[in-house]
Amino acid sequence: MMFHFWAVGTARLSYPLERAYSSIAGMGWIGVDLFFVLSGFLITGILLDLRRNPDYFRIFYGRRTVRIFPLYYAALTVFFLVVPMLLTHLHHQRAFDVETGTAGKLFAWTYLLNWYEGLKGFQIIPHPLQHFWSLAIEEQFYLVWPFLVLKLARRRLIQVCFGLMALGLFMRAVMYWIHLPIAAYTWTICRADPLAAGAIVALAARDPGDWKILSNWARRLALPAFCAIVLLRVFSPNCTDGPGASPDFAMGTIELTLAGILFSSCLALAIQLRREHPASRLLGSSFLRFFGKYSYCLYVCHVPIITFLAKAGLNSNRLLRLTHNEFLAILAINAIGFAASIAVAFASWHLYEKQWLKLKNLPMLHRTEPLMVGGTA
């Protein structure tokens, strides 16, 4: 969210504090890689615990459907149908970027937007929906991964995951070679490595011997991966908007693999923390739990909200005239964007999403909770 708000609200960066903030917020694209690692970990754990259930597919897909579909398709309905009708009625058709071709709508409705954007570029889709490519990857992961988890033994799955990590890096290199850098960032096969890295943590957490090996490697790899990510960013001055828009080969290929290694290592280290450890208390804090609870809608709605605010003229240049300080103007944009997004996500959860989630209580959708040997979670 900081990354997307920064892209809209950046001032002239005349002072060191503003440049420092820009450097940090400009790395916010890496949050989606953390999302993929967590998804690979959580979904693999859920599937492993369901493998002996005769209703394996029904439970998994039923629970995923009531969590993902209602908000996603409600957002598309609002964007493709409600907003255009409202703007037409108000005679402000050009006030908001809503023009989407039939192909774009079709790819959005079918969770294939990432392939369309990778081939045609992000600009082929209106800005408020461009970030939906990651949701498409997630849904495609759901379609394939349950079959592999059901059919393959745990050790073989670990081998498959390492193969997928290598394949993801290789396919990104191929995409850069044929001059499709955005495809390297958004196509599912090119982003397999963070999902696979997270899955490895879940698979190793169910065997004491494998968990010990993984924990040792996590301690060795976390800091070097972090340093390598920072160095690659420092030596890639042309990459201001993340790997998806970068002409730099290393940023668009190796950087993403390093992100998967970093976050999966951090995840493994976090799992084995004792509950009384300060880091464990921080990770389990009510503050982070709050954002975790509302994170799905926050992700879906924050770009449309900040786009709307920008179209309405609420930008850092206008706020600069009120605050007389560029950095305060940028912070104000962030504060307004976060507050509006949280308000929408809070309302969405309690008035809409939570009602759908009640379906998870149906006996036909019950599942057991994941059991990990690596820590107290």
| Separation between Cα atoms, residue 172 and residue 244, nearest integer Å | 11
- The pTM (predicted TM-score) of the whole model is 0.90
Q: Are 9 and 248 in contact (CB under 8 A)?
A: no
Q: Sort 109 into a burial class: Cβ within 10 Å, 0-12 / 13-18 / 19+.
A: middle
Per residue in 256-269, pLDDT (tens digit) is 999 999 999 999 99
Burial profile 51-83: b = 16 or more Cβ within 10 angstroms, e = fewer: eeeeebeebbebbbebbbebbbebbbeebbeeb
pLDDT of res. 221:
96
Question: What is the predicted pLDDT for the residue at 376?
Answer: 36
Q: How far is CA 372 from CA 201, 283, 301, 375, in A?
A: 10, 18, 33, 7
Give CA–CA dist 377/369, Å, rounded: 11
Residue 373 reports pLDDT greater than 70 = no
Most trustworthy range by pLDDT among 25-29, 209-213, 336-340: 209-213
- Among 66-70, 78-82, 86-90, whose mean pLDDT is lowest? 86-90
Q: CA-CA distance, 145 to 195, in Å (whole number)?
A: 10
Strands annotated E in 237-349: none
Residue found under tokens 């989407």? 100
Token pair recorded at residue 178:
């044929």
Question: How many CB atoms within 10 Å of residue 322?
Answer: 10
User: Do 28 and 343 contact (CB within 8 A), yes or no?
Assistant: no
**Lowest-pLDDT range, 51-55, 197-201, 370-374?**
370-374
* Sign of the torsion angle spanned by Cα atoms 27, 32, 36, 39: positive
The string of pLDDT tens digits covering residues 100-109 is 788 989 999 9
pLDDT tens digits for range 126-160: 888 999 999 999 999 999 999 999 999 999 999 99
Q: Which residue has the tokens 């409202």?
A: 86
pLDDT at 92: 61
Taking the C-alpha atoms of residue 119 and residue 73, their distance in angstroms, rounded to an integer, is 23
Between these two residues, 364 and 177, which has the higher pLDDT value?
Answer: 177
- Please state, in angstroms and rounded to a whole number, the distance separating the CA atoms of residues 298 and 290: 11
Break the chain into its structural domains and give their ranges.
Answer: 2-365
Which residue type does 77 have?
T
* Rounded Cα gap, residues 244 and 232, in angstroms: 15
What per-residue confidence (pLDDT) applies to 260? 96
Segment 246-256 shows an average pLDDT of 85
Range of weakest confidence among 85-94, 150-159, 184-193, 353-362:
85-94
Can you say whether the dihedral through the CA atoms of 194, 198, 203, 204 is positive or negative? Answer: positive
Per-residue pLDDT at 119 exceeds 70: yes
Any residues with CB less than 8 A from the CB of 165 and at least 6 apart, and which?
192, 193, 196, 197, 257, 260
pLDDT value of position 6: 77
Structure tokens at 343: 């308000």
How far, in Å, CA of 45 to CA of 230, rounded? 31
Whether the pLDDT of residue 191 is over 90: the answer is yes
pLDDT at 253 over 70: yes
- Under the banding of pLDDT at 50, 70 and 90, the label for residue 377 is very low
Averaged pLDDT for residues 167-196: 95
Lowest mean pLDDT among 15-24, 74-83, 167-176, 190-199: 15-24
pLDDT at 375: 44
**Listed residue (231, 259, 256) closest to 246, CA to CA:** 256
